[in-house]
Structure 1
Amino acid sequence: MEEIIEIQSVGLGKLDNAQHVTFHSRAYDIVNDYEPAKIGIPEPLKVEWKGNLGTEEDINKEVVAETLTKLITEKDTERDRLITYIFKIIRACLYSPETSELKAATELVLVANKYGQLQRESFDRESGHINGLLIDLKKPEYAPHITTLRLTNAVTKLETANTEFEKLFKQSATAVKRSNLPRAAEVRLKTDANYNRVLLMLQAAYLSGAATIDRDMLKKIAHDLNGLIDKTNTAYNRSLAQKKAAKDPKDPKTPEKPKDPKQPEKPGGGSGEQPKQPEKPKDPKKPDDGNPDITLPEE
């Protein structure tokens, strides 16, 4: 029987968009390392595969851009809240009965007033003015006042939030935003079709025995693709397990088996004995005052 090369199945449909584009990108790199004529892959097929892969990457980048927009808004809200807190504490302490707080607020309010309605400015102007505010608040003459009004932590958090905001803003500036991109599901079908076509042609080239075909190269490609598929499946299963663990609460400890309810005691016996079977009730008698089994409820 003619020897063939076998390439495992990865189940591309189960992968999310990020996993899908990552797999195809790595698979393309494996195939692209070899001369097309020696592995039986026509150049136009590789170009089409690469083009669809690029469109998938653009779609994913657009999703990232939308996520960045949300994160930017959240981070801006955070720094606005910190600015408002700092300014309100300073202005509130203008009425403080404590001399040290009153003095600190009187000097710091001059700094706060320089920046007016800082929180309502555009993103780029606000970032620059926050940097200016931080420089002013960190001046040696104001450092003791910041400590007095217990604003050190808030100022530090404002600096961190502004730095993180700027980082997100710069990332969003380079993110792709196109209105003419197709749906991800449509492109995925095309990319998968390219990949499956490549696999078919690799196997056909190995069987052909054509002079230009290098079977050792084809064996190496099959080996590398199978390794990639193993890693992809392992990563997918790990991700699935982590999601399940995050969704399901930890199993509570198995509760101890409850003890048997206390058995009624026999006269002079322990609670572990079998309860006495009730006797056939006797004819009721009129109670008399000397019967110890009959008691009146206490008021």
Structure 2
Amino acid sequence: MLLLVRRERLSMDIESLIRRKKELGITNQQLAQISGISLGTVNKIFSGATRSPQNDTMNALVSALGLDFYQYRPGSRADVICEPSSAYQMDTNSGIYTLDDYDSLPVEVRAELIDGYLVFMEAPSVRHQEIIGELYYCIRHHIKKAKGSCKVILSPVDVQLDNDDRTVVQPDLLIVCDRGKSDGHRIHGAPDYVAEVVSAGSRKRDYLVKLNKYWTAGVREYWIIDPDGRKVTVYEFGEQEENFQMQTYTFQDKIPVSTCTGLVIDFSELDL
């Protein structure tokens, strides 16, 4: 039987949180949204105005920054993270699963392998599929009309993101411009563009874990679409850290797709 146990939280000082936040490249506003702490409180803590936050506040920030996680007991293969739990280990102790374990899963099981951890996913909602379907149609129509060479692909498709045997993700939607990255079975290496639709169980993974993974792997553009908040957060990753850009849009905005020159998605015209 798989036994999941929560590791005791390490005592965290504010400097540790600041370093972690910088590593992940997230803003105070994003951290407030993920943690459930007010933006004003987050601003005060990270500016140094509040030096002794309440324990509940610190615990929420520690959790939101991925500094609490589950671990497996010695002798058990328990490093399996299941939705809707948002726990995920984000330190140097990688999980024990590999590509061979991932490939041996039953075909009907939806899962991702992230740094050696298996993350099992629920079936997407109708609204999730409607959003991705509309986005796919707009991008595909533009590429075909422009006679472009890039390919837009819907999930589920395996992406061996780091080109190793410890990470395989299934983005909701992706664009690959180097067709040599596809072997007909899965994508090897980073797509040029990735879109993820946020659900209650995937929020921390999409905003923190995958943001970091996509950035370091070489994804050029990453969209996080939040149906409940009716907003789209767009990240553009340059080759240098100073080229990192983030912009938040609403479902009433026109959003340019940098990966596809000339393409603008007018969310107000989508049937959502």
User: What band does the TM-score fall into relative to the shorter chain?
Assistant: under 0.3
User: RCO higher in 1 or 2 (8 Å CA, sep ≥ 6)?
Assistant: 1
TM-score by length of 1: 0.19
Question: Based on CA coordinates, which of the two structures has the bigger radius of gyration?
Answer: 1
The structure whose residues are more often helix, as a share, is 1
